[in-house]
Amino acid sequence: MGFLGSGFLPEIINAYGGLRTSMRKQMDKNPGEEGLLALLVFGCFVIFLSFLPRLFATDLSQTPDQSMAAGIIMWFFVVMFFLPLVLYGVAWASHLIAKPFGATNGNKPARHALFWALSVVSPVLIAKAMLSSVFIQIGGDTGTLLLGGLNVVLTLAILRIWGAMLAEAKEFSSAMRVSCVIALVFAGIFGVIFIAAI
């Protein structure tokens, strides 16, 4: 029990006091696939909510019409139906990447680590969404620079949180090394996609 007590939302906040400890507590609960799916749905819904302020800020600078409603429906469909499939694939890939480094347990801990990390990062996503809408309203080079810096900070936060969760789930000693491996793998993937697109 952390300083906020027990319960799902307090556990998310308490996780910032010890990422690996929070992951260990989650694993000790040994949730079934329905529990992992609930974590995933919660995380995806927060991602959807995090898009809304930016969508409103962008559309309010244009002519408000039915395109805003269409944009919200489109993002809801993408985030709640397609993103979970992508995240299952990412979890599976993280499991495969962890195996050569000595991980011996199955794919479920990798899914649990990713989905719990997504839940833990949800307050950061909401805060980022609010700041993004402000930076969009600022506009110009300053707004673009602030938005870019905010995205870098968010990316580092996600890598740190997911790396710690995956390290605990796969029983690695160094969360920082896991985060670096994740970053290098995804940088390589995006690099290949970028080169192929040129």
Indicate whether 122 belongs to any domain: yes
Give the C-alpha separation, 174 to 134, whole Å.
37
Average pLDDT, the chain: 83
Q: Phi-psi region for residue 174, left (φ > 0), alpha (ψ -120 to 50) or beta?
A: beta
What per-residue confidence (pLDDT) applies to 115?
A: 95
Indicate whether 69 belongs to any domain: yes
Q: Does the structure show a pLDDT above 60 at 4?
A: no
**pLDDT band per the 50, 70, 90 thresholds, residue 132:** confident
CB atoms closer than 10 angstroms to residue 140: 7
Indicate whether 3 belongs to any domain: no
Which domain does 158 fall in, by range? Answer: 8-197
Indicate whether 1 belongs to any domain: no
What per-residue confidence (pLDDT) applies to 1?
A: 45
Indicate whether 179 belongs to any domain: yes
Indicate whether 110 belongs to any domain: yes
Note the pLDDT tens digit of each residue in 171-181.
Answer: 888 888 888 88
Please tell me the total count of domains within the chain.
1
What per-residue confidence (pLDDT) applies to 73?
A: 85
